[in-house]
């Protein structure tokens, strides 16, 4: 099976404000595609459109060559999972109860969970380091613990497409690296399509198989870190002068910002 | 899970015990052991005929009705709180009760008769009033995807006042029915018989069942609309079901016993302390807790000013208002940012 998620000529926005303009890109199974762009460049909007949270004004999103608008809500949920940047938590469910809801697309909203569901949830809790705190109430978690709970729920959902909006936000370094390694491993082992947004360019370089640069409502470059991490493209994306160096151990490209005012003295003596 | 099911059974047992005790409370007091004997062996010649009559003909229907109405209000409260994702929602606070009262009053003053799908006109109009009010409050109070407490409460008060004004207007225009309407509005079980119980019971049990079926959906709604949708939840369908089911429970309760406030607010809070936050347990636990609270409140209503009695709505308001204010104070921080 050749899994893929493709945005074709996608134009969408909110009311009169256009956020994406005829954007086309395809995410493939077995790779992590990282979306990069300045604030407001449309990364979240693109993820929402890919998850059918937003109806495109023009163009379409194809899941294995089929328009996602044609899928029923449960079928879409079995195949595509979206973890938004922030989530509400009004009631004190336990972590385990929250993660079990990731099984709803498979089990439906009425039938009791099966042992197979609990097994899935077990795996998801283990891979996010939450198994020892499953009884904790979600209303009492730190921001990072809550992010991991949401990720665990997305894993329990067992979708072939994982859309993650800033999965590392609010996590300390260990969990940032853990999350990125985990989703990359899952992408390869289970041939998942993974699309995520990041703010850390150097993590994108290390963990992104391909990187999409978004600026001014459009896709300005798509390729491996080697291909798109050029001083020129990064400056176009973020509006900040940078220089590209090499990772001392892996020799992947790293982005180092320069002070905007080239003639001035260095920011700190 | 096992522990929580045990909690439900425990709650049910406490409810049963309190119902037995309540059967002995009143102008003639009867010991619980005697009540059990009367219930199990009504023909036993060693029993006093008056006590048997009091228990079977006067008090049993009243206690059952109190439990049933309490269960309706408790589960409706749990449903509304889940729907609005707000622990201050309650059939009374958001105006569903007053809406149902307006509908029911209309049916009374128009002297409607006949039945439709087995429902009497008072219940039907109460249901229409409750659904319309809840839908209006939902639409007006929601700001984007949120229903902030302040906006929910203000909208509830405004819509409630409107419905209250409609009730007053009808009472004013039809003063020949003033006493009937007024006595019924206050919220009381006195003078309600088996007929009331028979017409309310199927509606209320159906409504609780419907609410219970939405339990997992209400859990998913915790995460907000975007995440709930990405779990495959059909938002409109779930909301529609909860609005109709919770309004049905409220309307049936109001049609049977008038406006009884705050049971729907308090019961889910107590229930969550015992069974956690999963709605599959919160809804039945709220029904049991609501039943327990209203049975006890009715005991107070019957005995505090004996031999005359108070409308039970007064007791629940005296009990519930301070609790409501306490919750409000606890959430005060929210208003600064809202």
Per cent of chain B over pLDDT 70 is 94
Contact A109/B at CB under 8 A: yes
- The more confident residue out of B123 and A244 is A244
Spatial distance between the Cα atoms of A120 and A102, rounded to a whole number of angstroms: 10
Q: What is the pLDDT at residue B93?
A: 85
Spatial distance between the Cα atoms of B231 and B240, rounded to a whole number of angstroms: 18
| Total count of residues recorded for chain A | 269
Q: Name the residue in chain A with its Cα closest to that of B212.
A: A110
> What is the residue whose two structure tokens read 């929601």?
B142
Contact A97/B at CB under 8 A: yes
Q: What is the pLDDT at residue A269?
A: 57
Q: What is the pLDDT at residue A46?
A: 94
Cβ of A84 within 8 Å of Cβ of B226? The answer is yes
Per cent of chain B over pLDDT 90 is 41
Q: What is the pLDDT at residue A77?
A: 95
Enumerate the residues of chain A whose CB falls inside 8 A of the CB of residue B277.
91-93, 97, 137
| CATH numbers and ranges of domains, chain B | 2-337 (1.10.3470.10)
Enumerate the residues of chain B whose CB falls inside 8 A of the CB of residue A84.
224, 226-227, 230
Residue B338 clears pLDDT 50, i.e. is over it: no
- Note the pTM of the prediction, 2 decimals: 0.88
Enumerate the residues of chain B whose CB falls inside 8 A of the CB of residue A137.
277
- The more confident residue out of B2 and B317 is B317
DSSP symbol at A266: P
Enumerate the residues of chain A whose CB falls inside 8 A of the CB of residue B213.
109-110
How do residues A195-216 score in pLDDT, each as one tens digit?
999 999 999 999 999 999 999 8
Q: What is the pLDDT at residue B180?
A: 75
The A193-197 sheet, strands edge to edge: A80-83, A161-164, A193-197, A31-37, A210-215, A218-223
Q: What is the pLDDT at residue B116?
A: 67
Q: In this structure, what token pair is assigned to residue A233? A: 């493209």
Interior angle at CA B88, CA B83 and CA B91, nearest 5: 65
How many CA atoms lie less than 13 Å away from B300 in the CB half-sphere?
13
Enumerate the residues of chain A whose CB falls inside 8 A of the CB of residue B272.
91-92
Enumerate the residues of chain A whose CB falls inside 8 A of the CB of residue B227.
82-84, 87, 150
With cut-offs at 50, 70 and 90, classify the pLDDT of residue A95. Answer: very high
Q: What is the pLDDT at residue B1?
A: 47
How far are the Cα atoms of B4, B128, B165, B218 from residue B135, in angstroms, in the given order? 33, 11, 19, 17
Enumerate the residues of chain B whose CB falls inside 8 A of the CB of residue A53.
226, 229-230
Spatial distance between the Cα atoms of A204 and A34, rounded to a whole number of angstroms: 6
Average pLDDT over residues A108-133: 93
Residue A190 clears pLDDT 70, i.e. is over it: yes
Q: Which stretches of chain B sit within 8 Å of chain A by CB?
A: 82, 85-87, 213-214, 216-217, 219-220, 222-224, 226-227, 229-234, 272, 276-278
Cβ of B272 within 8 Å of Cβ of A150? The answer is no
Distance from CA of A76 to the nearest CA of B (A): 7
DSSP-assigned letters across all residues of B258-326: ----SHHHHHHHHHHHHH-S-HHHHHHHHHHHHHHHHHHHHHHHHHTTTTS---HHHHHHHHHHHHHHH
Q: In this structure, what token pair is assigned to residue A47? A: 């993820």
Average pLDDT over residues B38-44: 85
With cut-offs at 50, 70 and 90, classify the pLDDT of residue B192. Answer: confident
Q: Name the residue in chain A with its Cα closest to that of B210.
A: A110
Closest CA to A247 of A235, A237, A255: A255
Lowest mean pLDDT among A163-167, A254-258, B38-42: B38-42
Q: What is the pLDDT at residue B188?
A: 75
Cβ of A89 within 8 Å of Cβ of B223? The answer is yes
Distance from CA of B168 to the nearest CA of A (A): 37
How do residues B107-146 score in pLDDT, each as one tens digit?
888 877 776 666 778 888 988 999 999 889 888 887 766 6
Residue B291 clears pLDDT 80, i.e. is over it: yes
How do residues B144-166 score in pLDDT, each as one tens digit?
666 777 788 889 889 999 998 99
**Around Cβ A263, how many Cβ atoms within 10 Å?**
5
Q: What is the pLDDT at residue A80?
A: 95
3-class SS shares of chain A: helix, strand, coil, % to 5: 35, 30, 35
Q: What is the pLDDT at residue B309?
A: 80
Q: What is the pLDDT at residue A40?
A: 86
Lowest mean pLDDT among A203-212, B158-167, B175-184, B237-246: B175-184
**Around Cβ B27, how many Cβ atoms within 10 Å?**
12
Average pLDDT over residues A116-143: 93
Distance from CA of A162 to the nearest CA of B (A): 11
Average pLDDT over residues A57-81: 93
Asked whether the beta carbons of B219 and B87 are under 8 A apart, the reply is no
DSSP symbol at A269: -
Which of A50, A85, A90 to probe the B interface (max B CBs under 10 A)?
A90
Enumerate the residues of chain A whose CB falls inside 8 A of the CB of residue B219.
91, 93, 97, 101
Q: What is the pLDDT at residue B325?
A: 87
Average pLDDT over residues A219-236: 94
Spatial distance between the Cα atoms of B87 and B153, rounded to a whole number of angstroms: 11
Average pLDDT over residues B76-89: 90
With cut-offs at 50, 70 and 90, classify the pLDDT of residue B337. Answer: very low
């Amino acid at each position: 099976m050749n899994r893929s998620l493709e945005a074709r000529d996608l134009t969408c926005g909110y009311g009169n404000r256009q956020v994406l303009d005829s954007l086309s890109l395809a995410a493939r199974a077995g790779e992590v595609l990282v979306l990069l762009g300045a604030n407001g460049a449309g990364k979240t909007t693109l993820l929402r459109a890919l998850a059918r949270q937003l109806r495109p004004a023009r163009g379409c999103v194809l899941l294995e060559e089929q328009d996602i608008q044609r899928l029923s809500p449960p079928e879409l949920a079995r195949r595509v999972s979206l973890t938004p940047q922030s989530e509400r938590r009004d009631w004190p469910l336990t972590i385990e109860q929250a993660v079990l809801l990731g099984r709803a697309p498979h089990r439906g909203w009425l039938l009791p969970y099966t042992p197979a569901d609990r097994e899935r949830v077990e795996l998801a809790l283990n891979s996010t380091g939450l198994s020892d705190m499953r009884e904790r109430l979600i209303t009492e978690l730190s921001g990072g613990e809550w992010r991991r709970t949401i990720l665990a729920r997305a894993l329990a959902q067992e979708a072939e497409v994982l859309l993650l909006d800033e999965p590392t936000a609010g996590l300390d370094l260990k969990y940032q690296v853990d999350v990125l390694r985990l989703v990359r491993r899952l992408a390869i082992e289970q041939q998942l399509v993974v699309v995520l947004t990041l703010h850390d360019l150097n993590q994108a370089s290390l963990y992104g198989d391909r990187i999409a640069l978004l600026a001014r409502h459009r896709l300005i470059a798509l390729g491996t870190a080697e291909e798109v991490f050029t001083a020129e493209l990064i400056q176009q994306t973020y509006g900040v002068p940078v220089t590209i160096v090499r990772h001392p151990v892996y020799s992947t490209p790293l982005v180092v910002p320069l002070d905007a005012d080239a003639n001035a003295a260095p920011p700190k003596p | 899970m096992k522990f929580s099911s045990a909690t439900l059974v425990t709650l049910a047992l406490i409810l049963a015990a309190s119902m037995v005790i309540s059967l002995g409370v009143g102008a003639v007091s009867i010991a619980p052991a005697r009540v059990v004997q009367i219930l199990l062996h009504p023909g036993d010649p060693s029993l006093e005929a008056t006590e048997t009559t009091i228990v079977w003909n006067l008090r049993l229907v009243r206690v059952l009705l109190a439990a049933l109405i309490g269960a309706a209000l408790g589960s409706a409260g749990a449903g509304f709180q889940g729907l609005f994702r707000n622990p201050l929602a309650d059939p009374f606070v958001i105006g569903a009760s007053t809406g149902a009262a307006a509908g029911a009053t209309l049916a009374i003053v128009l002297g409607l008769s006949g039945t439709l799908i087995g429902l009497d006109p008072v219940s039907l109009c109460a249901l229409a009033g409750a659904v319309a009010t809840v839908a209006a409050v939902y639409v007006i109070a929601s700001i984007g995807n949120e229903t902030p407490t302040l906006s929910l409460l203000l909208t509830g008060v405004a819509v409630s006042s409107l419905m209250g004004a409609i009730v007053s207007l009808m009472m004013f225009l039809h003063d020949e029915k003033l006493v009937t309407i007024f006595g019924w509005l206050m919220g009381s079980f006195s003078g309600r018989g088996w007929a009331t119980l028979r017409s309310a019971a199927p509606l209320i049990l159906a409504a609780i069942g419907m609410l219970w079926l939405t339990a997992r959906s209400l859990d998913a709604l915790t995460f907000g609309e975007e995440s709930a949708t990405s779990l495959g939840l059909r938002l409109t369908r779930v909301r529609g079901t909860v609005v109709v089911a919770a309004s049905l429970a409220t309307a049936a309760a109001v049609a049977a016993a008038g406006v009884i406030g705050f049971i729907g607010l308090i019961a889910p809070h107590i229930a969550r302390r015992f069974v956690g936050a999963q709605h599959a347990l919160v809804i039945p636990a709220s029904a049991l807790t609501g039943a327990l609270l209203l049975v006890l409140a009715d005991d107070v209503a019957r005995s505090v000013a004996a031999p005359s009695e108070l409308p039970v709505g007064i007791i629940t308001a005296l009990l519930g208002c301070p609790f409501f204010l306490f919750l409000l104070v606890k959430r005060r921080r929210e208003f600064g940012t809202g």
